[in-house]
Structure formats: C-alpha cells, structure tokens
Structure 1
C-alpha cells in the first residue's frame, strides 16, 4: 500500500508543514433512532473536508492515510473528498494534480463543491470574474501561472478568461467537470454542502447539494442517510445527531480533517497531527 503513495514523495521527504494551532475536536454524543449508522462490512472510507488550494495540508493528510492503511490493512478502502478544491489557498493547481493521480489509482471518489464550478462559468462568461474574485479566484488563477497585473484583472475579464482557457490543462478541466454531486455508501451520504430538508434525495437540486447552508444546518430532523459534509468552516469537526461537518477551514488554519468510517466506528485524522518517529 505504501507504493501507492510514493506519488507524494516530496511531502514524505520534507518536514511537516508549519500549521497553525487549532482546537481539539469537541466531544459530542451521537445518537440514532434505532442503531448507529454503518458502512457495509469490509469497507473503510476516508472522508476529507474542503481543501481550498492547501496542497501541503493535503500531502500531510495523505501520508497519515497511507500510514493508517498500512497499520490497519483492509482490502476495500477509498478516499472521498467533499469538494472545494480551488480558491483561497495558494496551490489549487497542485491540489487538482494530486486528486487526478489518486483518481488514476482508483481509490478516489471526488465530489463537487460550489467553488469547483467557477472555472467553466468564468471561461464561458468572463464577466463572472467580478463575482468569483471575492471568493478566492485570484489565488486559483495565479496557481495556474497567470500574471493578473499584466492581464489587467479585473478590468479586462475577457483577456483573463482567454488566457486561462489557454493554460488550463484539459485533464484538469475534465476532472472538474466530471465531479459527482453526492455519494452514498451504506447508511452514509457524502455531499459538499448538505440537503434541502424534507426533500427526497432523488429530488434534490445540485445547487442545494453544493451550496445550501442555513436551511440545512438549522434542521434538527433526520435525513434519508446520515450526512457527512463540509462547506461551512468550523474550528473542529462538528458532530450532530444526523450529520457531521468536517470543513475545518484549511485555508485559514492549515488543518485539514479526515473522518475515518468503518462499520459503525468513527475516528478522525488531521493534517497537523505529528507523525510517529
């Protein structure tokens, strides 16, 4: 299994990145109506929260996942990333490259976040840069090698979009276009933002799956499945009766969170946990 993760040799050989201090996850009781949600027997899922261009945190977390698989082998394991790979952090391009390599190894299920749809939108309609820019667009474009000053951003949106379309690798564009908007395994639903309450999963709109916030977060009732999501940054994994939020604001804290699910068991891995000697 270690062989799979030699793709991240740079991170394995380097010292762990300096990471801002963050609070430990708060303790919370998890209850269910009849039984605790579970995955099918023999399946383990590593669910990873919003990455937002933080490739150092992603590399560190991948090492911890590799070590976890090595120390506790299981045949059927996969990584589920919850979306928002772009913007805010400095290394959106490198994050997409890592995920493409994981996808080639057939161990990744990559979900779509609201930030991940901006690239096609911007290329098709350059003026949307003015809407995208406050959400971290400049960091993404710079990571792909664009010089925003010489291109006149944000005053020359068309020139900016044309240059971005020229330099964006086809495999990156294809990867982002083919992201799933949700994934179900056993009793769990994995999604970027959440669900519209009291609407069947089959009837959910993608705009809600990747962008809903308060209507979902304020809902205290059950959903068709136990929901694992991100989208709304929290200081530590936020565990509720019917959902868990694992977006720990990596772009601000450099702490990327992974929820490990196996059977009915749950545990966490963090990008900033010291590695064993």
Structure 2
C-alpha cells in the first residue's frame, strides 16, 4: 500500500478545502469562522472551494439549536458547506428516538442542548427524562432532525480522509466501521503508522491543533476554550485558521 505523510499530502487540484473542528454549541465561533472563510475566498478567489465540518455540533456549549439552524441555512445557500457526523450528533438523535437516560446525550452535555430548545431536563429523574424527551420532540424542528439524519460519516478529498474521531488502523478506508469513525480514540491516536491518506479529525480536545505525520486533530475544545480551529488545504499548501470570540 502506498502511504503519504502530512508534509507531502496534497488536496485536489483547483479546489481549496477547509476543515473545521468540533463546534459544540458555539454558534458565535462558527459564524466567525464562516465569515473568515467567505472573506478570504472573496479576497483570494480559488477556482472552487468546500468547507468540511467534522461533527459534534451539539452539546456542552450554549446554543446547539442555533448551530444546527445556521448549518441548515448555510447548506441551503451554498452546496460547498459539507457536514460530517460526530458522536454527540448521533447521541442527540438516539435520545430523541429512545429517551436513553444513560447515553452520551444525557451524560455529556445534553442538558445544554435541551436548554437551547427551551427544555429543562433532570437526567437523574426518570419522569423528567420522559417529559423532557417529549418536549424536545415537539421543540426540535423537523429540518434539524433531517439534517442530523443526513450526516455522512466520512469523505475523501485528495490525499486527505475526513471524519470525526479517526480510523481503525490497518483497516482499509472503505471498510471502516461507521461507529469507529465517530468514537475511536486511543487505538487511533497512539498509532504512528502512515496510511494511504492523512486523516483530518476532531473528537479529542487538545490545547492546540495537533499535527502528526499521519493525522491532524482540529478539536481545540471550542465550547470551553473559546477557540474554534480549522485547516486550509490549497493543493500542497496547508495553513491553519482560528476563530476567537
């Protein structure tokens, strides 16, 4: 198998690619990042461009509803806005479907997501969980549910593979388990082997963007740090952007 490292990896010809890390309810940072990207493309017009969002749009931060509404509208206006699924996004769908009081939504930031829709849930109280789920089913617009259901798990552009969490090392990209793509952590992060593509991912918060030979981690903990990070790939050139509000 032919492998590639970050230094030599190239994006597609005549296509500028942006990838944006975990948002987690920080509408303010996402809006700032989008303004930056649109302004940059107006100042230095490429032949074409896309922006790949790496998932985890909801939970933990203050405005998950606003983030989803912004992305729904952004995609209506511009087909270049591409979106992948994160484990928290799937966890939100799972809670709406099952009301599971022990899933990722209940345990890791779903309270803030519910609050952004005007719903208060005490996940230690079964009655509150049931009532909260019913209230969310009424409050969450159908367009938000359709958006979440339509999220892809991965995509390939040039020498880069984009997903939320990472890949199972040693497994071909087209045979990856969909759950690994949104959940895997240390088996992927601790493996130094090169792949046939460089993996661009989020999922594991870091104090700064992590650049390794085989992967780039764009999750800089936006909901807590106030920093949303992205990479710009222009053929062989790579650079990084950061939205701070």
* TM-score, normalized by the shorter chain, greater than 0.5: yes
Q: Distance between the aligned counterparts of 1:221 and 1:240, measured in 2?
A: 10
- Alpha-carbon deviation of 1:252? 0.8
The answer on 1:155 being equivalent to 2:126 is yes
Asked if structure 1 preserves the Cα contact closer than 8 Å seen for 2:56 and 2:87, the reply is yes
The answer on 1:75 being equivalent to 2:47 is yes
Structure 2 equivalent of residue 143 of structure 1: 116
Q: 1:34 to 1:158 in 2, by over 3 A?
A: closer
Q: Distance between the aligned counterparts of 2:49 and 2:109, measured in 1?
A: 33
Structure 1 equivalent of residue 136 of structure 2: 164
Q: Distance between the aligned counterparts of 1:60 and 1:154, measured in 2?
A: 38
* RMSD of Structure 2 on Structure 1 (CA): 1.8
1:255-266 pair list within 5 angstroms: 255-266=227-238
Q: From the CA coordinates, give the structure whose radius of gyration is larger.
A: 1
Q: Distance between the aligned counterparts of 2:137 and 2:6, measured in 1?
A: 51
Asked if structure 2 preserves the Cα contact closer than 8 Å seen for 1:49 and 1:81, the reply is yes
Structure 1 equivalent of residue 23 of structure 2: 51
- Alpha-carbon deviation of 1:123? 2.1
Q: 1:155 to 1:265 in 2, by over 3 A?
A: same
Gapped runs of 5+ residues in structure 2? none
Q: Distance between the aligned counterparts of 2:157 and 2:8, measured in 1?
A: 14
| Structure 2 length-normalised TM | 0.93
- Alpha-carbon deviation of 1:32? 4.7
Q: 1:142 to 1:35 in 2, by over 3 A?
A: closer
Q: Distance between the aligned counterparts of 2:207 and 2:121, measured in 1?
A: 32
- Alpha-carbon deviation of 1:249? 0.4
Asked if structure 2 preserves the Cα contact closer than 8 Å seen for 1:184 and 1:190, the reply is yes
| Structure 1 length-normalised TM | 0.83
Structure 2 equivalent of residue 116 of structure 1: 89
The answer on 1:107 being equivalent to 2:84 is no
Q: Distance between the aligned counterparts of 2:93 and 2:61, measured in 1?
A: 19
Asked if structure 1 preserves the Cα contact closer than 8 Å seen for 2:5 and 2:198, the reply is no
3-state DSSP of counterpart to 1:256: strand
Q: Distance between the aligned counterparts of 2:130 and 2:229, measured in 1?
A: 37
Q: Distance between the aligned counterparts of 2:6 and 2:162, measured in 1?
A: 21
Structure 2 equivalent of residue 7 of structure 1: none
- Alpha-carbon deviation of 1:34? 11
The answer on 1:183 being equivalent to 2:155 is yes
After superposition, give the CA deviation of every residue in 1:109-166 in whole Å (9 maximum; x if it has no partner): 100000001222112211x1333322000000010111337xx863322221111111
Asked if structure 2 preserves the Cα contact closer than 8 Å seen for 1:250 and 1:256, the reply is yes
Q: 1:201 to 1:34 in 2, by over 3 A?
A: closer
230, 233, 236: which one aligns with 2:208: 236
The answer on 1:227 being equivalent to 2:199 is yes
1:17-28 pair list within 5 angstroms: none
